Amino acid sequence: MKKINYYNLYDMLLPNIKESYFTYSFFSFSKEEFSNIIADTLKHMLSILNCKNINRVDIMFNKIIKIKIANYIEESNKDIIQILNNFMDNYINFPEDYNTAITEINKLIDLLDWLNLVPNIDLYLNDILSHPTIREILKIIDNKDKTDSNYHIANRTLSFLIKNYNLEMHKEINDSKFNESYFCNKHTKYYLDSLPFSRLTLSEEKELGNRILLGDSEAKKKLVMHNLKLVVTAVKKYSFYGLSFEDLIQEGNIALIKAANDFDVSKNCRFSSVAYRYITTAVKRAVANKSRNIRIPQYLYFKLLKFIKFKNEFIKNEGCLPTLEEIAVGLNLPLDTVIELNNLALDTISLNSSDNVLKDESLDNYQNVEDLAIEDIYSYNAFLKELLEVYNLCSLNERQRQVLDLRYGLTSGYPLTCEEIGKMFNVTRARVSNIENQALRRIKKSKKAMRILSKYNQ
């Protein structure tokens, strides 16, 4: 049996390699990454081909490269959500009927199976169900399931998606009833009532897209006007993030116009799929940039929202404030990042506002306003690090740390009584006092810990 070398195999499979580069473009591999995957695939093939004869090396190549890509995705920590979004935008077509809906959803299910994402599908469920094309596909399949008594969904993954789609739709209906009474003033109501435009078909969108490429402004206007309801639907869930509903709609409409300018009909996907991404990206940026008095970077803003949500849920479930270490573990973030988020979560205060601590005198009456909060703001980060060092030096257990934090308000700024802490932990006031005294005795025995704390007055 004649042995085949690496370069012969590469020349033989060159058309397949080029085709696979475009087929798997939604992974956004760099040239170096893809070259490494190809090299690994060919070496694996050589070890098999030199042991036995295989006629269809192209089929073998397609099978092995999928295994290598799946292994690489798992090892390299690529952004799975970005991969799924790219795949749904470029490879999932809008369904015309039930049969095409089944064909398209099977593409997504095959990808989930291929990358072994089905066991952890809950992590990506929101992104999958928020995609307009996927929602339309699941709607068609769900209607078939409800109208045809003989129809049964056999695939477990599809059944799971349909179940969560129904839950999401039920939640959106309830949210829309609440939101309409909450943020719709008479001007907004007038705007929403003046959107009678029906949805365009796929062929109509392609026709308008081709006219837009030729510079037809009327075609762009028509495409935008028929998708204004999509903006309202997309921005509803951001209505409680600090910006008014009218501002969110305005940002979404600007993004919709940009999406109409960039609409490419050659990709054979619905305009709503493209526009939804533009709208949500623009709205997220606007919320991060304009909803706070002091602007922070967008990536930090959404980490801050997760930080506040986790903290509120922890208090609700456990009945006490979480430590910074618990937040770091719960959010899977470094402790330094959590400390920074804790600083950003502090509320701002106007110089002209009165404060109970200052007996209703406005802050601008004080000449040294900068000195008023310098210890709280600029030294807070260092204080928390040194406090953690003291806890570790004295080998305090978790309960002792929590009692000290709550008793003296070290992380929250609100000291509690022993009785209030006892109710949180379901113990007596005397037991809380005992834990506090034990912790303080340990700290006092450590000269290094006392030297660290000596720089603070309290």
Does residue 458 form part of some domain?
A: no
Q: What is the pTM of this model?
A: 0.42
Amino acid present at 25? S
Confidence of residue 437 (pLDDT cuts 50, 70, 90): confident
Q: Which of 121, 141, 176 is the last residue of a domain?
A: 176
Report pLDDT digits (tens) over 379-389.
555 677 777 77
Decide if 259 is inside a domain: yes
Q: Which pLDDT belongs to residue 238?
A: 78
Question: Can you tell me the distance from the alpha carbon of 305 to that of 308, in angstroms, rounded to the nearest whole number?
Answer: 5
Question: Which of the four pLDDT bands, split at 50, 70 and 90, describes residue 335?
Answer: confident
Is there a single domain that holds both residue 15 and residue 145?
no
The per-residue pLDDT for 1 is 42
- Are residues 158 and 23 part of one domain? no
**What average pLDDT does this structure show over 177-192?**
54
Residue 430 has pLDDT above 90, yes or no: no
Contact 383, 456 (CB under 8 A): yes
User: Looking at the predicted structure, is the pLDDT value of residue 378 above 50?
Assistant: no
353 within a domain of the structure (yes/no): yes
The Cα–Cα gap between 324 and 232 comes to 38
Q: Phi then psi for 362, rounded to 5 degrees?
A: -75, 150
Which of the listed ranges 44-58, 229-243, 418-432 does the model predict with the highest average pLDDT? 418-432
Q: Is residue 429 one of the residues assigned to a domain?
A: yes
**Residue-wise pLDDT tens digits, 296-322:** 777 777 788 788 888 877 876 776 778
Tokens standing for residue 272 = 């709503």
| More confident of the two residues 339 and 236 | 339
> Between 21 and 194, whose confidence is greater?
21
In angstroms, rounded to a whole number, what is the distance separating the alpha carbons of residues 94 and 268? 8
User: Residue 196: what pLDDT?
Assistant: 64
For residue 409, the 8-state DSSP code is: T
pLDDT digits (tens, 9 = 90+) for 39-48: 888 888 888 7
Assess whether 205 and 284 both reside in one domain.
Answer: yes
Long-range contacts of 54-61 (CB under 8 A, 24+ apart): 57/9, 57/12, 57/13, 58/13, 58/16, 61/13, 61/16, 61/20
- Which residue has better confidence, 411 or 371? 411
**Among the three residues 176, 198, 227, which one is the final residue of a domain in this structure?**
176
**Residue 204 one-letter amino acid:** E
How confident is residue 371, by pLDDT bands cut at 50, 70 and 90?
A: very low
Q: Is 17 left (phi over 0), alpha (psi -120 to 50) or beta?
A: alpha
Mean residue pLDDT of the chain comes to 76
Same-domain pairing of 346 and 436: yes
Domain CATH code at residue 418: 1.10.10.10
Q: Is the pLDDT of residue 220 over 80?
A: yes
How confident is the model over 95-139, as pLDDT tens digits?
A: 878 888 888 888 888 888 888 777 777 777 777 887 888 888 888
- Whether residues 44 and 101 share a domain: the answer is no
Residue-wise pLDDT for 197-219, tens only, equals: 677 887 888 889 889 888 888 98
As a whole number, mean pLDDT of residues 401-417 equals: 79
Number of domains making up the chain: 4
Kindly report the number of other CB atoms within 10 A of residue 183's CB atom.
Answer: 15
**Nearby residues of 6 by Cβ (< 8 Å), 6 or more positions away:** 42, 43, 46
| 398 & 413 share domain | yes
Determine, yes or no, domain membership for 394.
yes
Residue 295 belongs to a domain: no
- The amino acid at residue 395 is S
Tell me the C-alpha distance between 421 and 440, whole Å.
17
At 358, the pLDDT band (50, 70, 90 cuts) reads very low
pLDDT in tens, 142-184: 777 656 555 556 667 777 777 777 766 655 544 444 444 444 5
User: Helix, strand, coil proportions of the chain in percent (round to 5)?
Assistant: 75, 0, 25
Burial track 208-236 (b if 16+ CB lie within 10 A, e otherwise): bbebbeeeeeebbebbbebbbebbbebbb
Q: Are residues 111 and 165 in the same domain?
A: yes
Can you tell me the mean pLDDT for 65-74? Answer: 84
Percent of the chain with pLDDT over 70: 76
Same domain, 104 and 136: yes
Number of Cα atoms under 13 Å in the Cβ half of residue 36: 9
Residue 60 burial by CB count (10 A; 0-12/13-18/19+): exposed, middle or buried?
middle
Q: What is the pLDDT of residues 72-100, one digit of tens each?
A: 887 776 777 778 888 887 788 878 788 88
pLDDT of 458 strictly over 70? no
Segment 234-276, tens digit of pLDDT: 887 777 677 788 888 889 999 999 999 988 888 777 888 888 8
- Contact predicate 82/73, CB 8 Å: no
- Looking at per-residue pLDDT, the higher value among 399 and 458 belongs to 399
Do 232 and 108 lie in one domain? The reply is no
Distance of CA 154 to the CA centre of its chain: 30
* DSSP classification of residue 119: G
Angle at 384 between CA 381 and CA 390, to 5 degrees: 145
Is residue 409 located within the same domain as residue 309?
yes
Q: Which two tokens stand for residue 84?
A: 């799924």
pLDDT for 2: 54
> What is the pLDDT at residue 188?
64
Among 20-24, 173-177, 223-227, name the one with the lowest average pLDDT: 173-177
If asked whether residues 408 and 322 sit together in one domain, one would say yes
> Is 300 in contact with 270 (CB distance < 8 Å)?
no
Residue 166 forms part of a structural domain: yes
Instruction: Choose one of 263, 290, 317: the last residue of a domain.
Output: 290
Residues 440 and 313 reside in one and the same domain: yes
Within-domain flag for 297 = no
CATH number of the domain where residue 193 is located? 1.20.120.1810
- Domain encompassing residue 271: 184-290
